[in-house]
């Protein structure tokens, strides 16, 4: 622990000495620029990461997510290619000899001329907190075994570490991002995925075989720790010209969420509690205007968040409400105008988004004074406001976005077009640490970082960004 501290401080010192950044009107625009080719190439179909596990009808694309509201259930999903096979998950606690069974469901779907494999989803209920479980899927031979750790019981001072990845795709850069996340010594225990998963829709007829390759690619991490899903624009898969008129079809079949446990009426917006965090997932591409189901759900949800039990209130959405990059500029504006007053009122600690293929962190600011008769507008410093973090830099085939609005707006604290991932490390009810890791650096190096003081319990204290001092 102490050595980790020393090391983290050394890294920070180095960053200050190296001064990789130039100061603009606002915060920092990093001058770091990627050496490699900027177009990211998808890994070829015969890559190791896409390999089909050996054996007849072997389960593949295994991934897990939280299965209830508090962390005592897990949804296990997998696909069998040849026949439905078994719907059963066998599971047992690390030190128990008693094996238990849970029964799931199996689904298939068609998309243009593609027919899916047999997609299984099985909820394992009634798990103990803070326990390692092994689980097996498949029938007979081959049986595949994995494991996961349940979170500690929700409580105010429970430390917990979340990873953040967005806009991942399946390029060589995507593989680097996942590898850096796996080897990061801060060890994320649960991944908050900020949307745009496979990028299958960049292929003719949104070639759903690329959903399968993506499922096999992420298995090495997503079978062992929950990935908490939010839907991006690349999940819409709306292709009316060829008869595909149900939005989010492949995503919905493949990536279930525990939405009913938070009284949501659709899988795209929901909440979970995990350790000391209450996480709200919003759907940027589902109706969210006033009186829509999503709006009504959020209005119900926000007052229910118990900051005594879960001090950290985190919102995840795909399209950022604040971004100073030129690409996708102001696409999140309608969501911001409607929802920002509530996120400030309820003292959301941090809002994570993707969509823009780069990294950016905001100051604590709000822009909620404006109404069409007073003309007051513009972001102002606001210690009740969330920090906005754009982490759409997972590494998909569309590449990075380099063009930024100039000068850097006051609200933008740090921005850089590099691939990477984030870590949100909750220490206790007052302190959490955020670090952004770019793929070019060593696994332990942070290019940007921030100590966050909880907005509910410590609303006055200003935060110092360690890297931008």
CB of 156 to ligand NAG, least distance (A): 7
CA angle 376, 343, 381 (to 5 degrees): 45
The binder of 308, among ligand NAG, Fe ion, none, by C-beta within 5 to 8 A per type, is ligand NAG
Residue (47 or 90) nearer to ligand NAG, CB: 47
Residue (145 or 306) nearer to ligand NAG, CB: 306
What residue ranges in 259-411 does DSSP mark as E strands? 270-274, 277-281, 312-316, 350-353, 359-362, 365-366, 380-381, 387-391
180, 355, 437, 438: residue in contact with Fe ion (rule CB under 5 A): 355
The binder of 232, among Fe ion, ligand NAG, none, by C-beta within 5 to 8 A per type, is Fe ion
The binder of 355, among Fe ion, ligand NAG, none, by C-beta within 5 to 8 A per type, is Fe ion
CB of 256 to Fe ion, least distance (A): 21
Active site residue 328: yes
Residue 289 to residue 430: CA distance in whole angstroms: 33
Residue (43 or 279) nearer to ligand NAG, CB: 43
Number of other residues whose CB lies within 10 A of the CB of residue 289: 10
Q: Quick check: helix, strand or coil at residue 350?
A: strand
193-212 residues in contact with Fe ion (CB under 5 A) are 196
CB of 272 to ligand NAG, least distance (A): 16
Task: Establish if 232 lies at the interface with Fe ion (CB under 5 A).
Answer: yes
233, 252, 310, 323: residue in contact with Fe ion (rule CB under 5 A): 233
CB of 227 to ligand NAG, least distance (A): 17
- Asked if residues 75 and 66 have their Cβ atoms less than 8 Å apart, the reply is yes
Task: Establish if 412 lies at the interface with Fe ion (CB under 5 A).
Answer: no
Number of other residues whose CB lies within 10 A of the CB of residue 254: 25
CA angle 121, 127, 130 (to 5 degrees): 120
- Asked if residues 33 and 414 have their Cβ atoms less than 8 Å apart, the reply is no
Strands 28-30 and 21-23: antiparallel
Residue 121 to residue 173: CA distance in whole angstroms: 29
CB of 390 to Fe ion, least distance (A): 11
Residue 170 to residue 218: CA distance in whole angstroms: 9
Find the catalytic residue in 327, 328, 431, 453.
328
Strands 132-137 and 100-103: unpaired
Residue (19 or 95) nearer to ligand NAG, CB: 95
Catalytic residues, which ones? 328
Binding site for Fe ion (CB under 5 A): 196, 232-233, 355
């Amino acid at each position: 622990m102490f050595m980790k501290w020393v090391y983290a401080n050394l890294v920070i010192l180095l960053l200050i000495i190296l001064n990789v950044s130039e100061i603009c009107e606002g915060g920092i625009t990093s001058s770091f620029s990627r050496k490699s080719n900027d177009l990211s190439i998808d890994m070829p179909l015969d890559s190791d990461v896409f390999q089909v596990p050996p054996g007849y009808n072997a389960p593949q694309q295994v991934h897990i997510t939280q299965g209830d509201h508090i962390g005592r259930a897990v949804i296990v999903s997998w696909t069998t290619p040849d026949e439905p096979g078994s719907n059963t998950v066998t599971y047992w606690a690390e030190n128990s000899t008693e094996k238990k069974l849970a029964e799931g469901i199996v689904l298939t779907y068609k998309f243009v001329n593609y027919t899916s494999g047999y997609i299984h989803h099985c909820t394992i209920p009634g798990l103990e907190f803070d326990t390692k479980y092994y689980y097996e899927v498949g029938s007979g031979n081959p049986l595949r075994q994995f494991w996961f750790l349940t979170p500690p019981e929700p409580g105010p001072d429970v430390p917990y570490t979340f990873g953040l990845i967005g806009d991942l795709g399946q390029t060589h850069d995507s593989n680097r991002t996942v590898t850096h996340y796996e080897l990061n010594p801060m060890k994320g225990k649960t991944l908050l995925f900020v949307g745009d998963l496979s990028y299958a829709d960049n292929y003719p007829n949104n070639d759903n075989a690329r959903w399968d390759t993506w499922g096999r690619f992420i298995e090495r991490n997503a079978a062992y720790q929950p990935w908490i899903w939010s839907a991006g624009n690349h999940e819409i898969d709306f292709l009316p010209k060829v008869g595909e008129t149900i939005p989010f079809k492949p995503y919905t079949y493949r990536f279930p969420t525990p939405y009913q446990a938070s009284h949501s009426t659709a899988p795209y917006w929901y909440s979970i509690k995990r350790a000391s965090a209450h996480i709200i997932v919003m759907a940027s591409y589902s109706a969210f205007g006033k009186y829509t189901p999503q709006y009504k759900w959020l209005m119900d949800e926000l007052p229910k968040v118990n900051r005594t039990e879960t001090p950290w209130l985190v919102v995840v959405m795909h399209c950022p409400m604040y971004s100073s990059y030129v690409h996708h500029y102001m696409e999140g504006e309608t969501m911001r105008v409607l929802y920002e007053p509530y996120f400030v009122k309820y003292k959301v600690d941090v809002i994570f988004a993707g969509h823009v293929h780069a990294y950016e962190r905001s100051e604590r600011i709000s822009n909620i004074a404006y109404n069409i008769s007073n003309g007051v507008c513009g972001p102002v410093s606001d210690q009740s406001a969330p920090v906005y973090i754009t982490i759409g830099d997972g590494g998909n085939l569309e590449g990075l976005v380099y063009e930024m609005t100039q000068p850097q707006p006051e609200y933008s604290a740090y921005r850089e077009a590099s691939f990477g991932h984030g870590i949100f490390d909750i220490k206790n009810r007052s302190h959490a640490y955020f670090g952004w890791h770019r793929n070019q650096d060593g696994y332990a190096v942070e290019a940007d970082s921030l100590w966050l003081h909880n907005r509910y319990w410590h609303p006055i204290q200003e935060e110092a960004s360690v890297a931008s001092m």
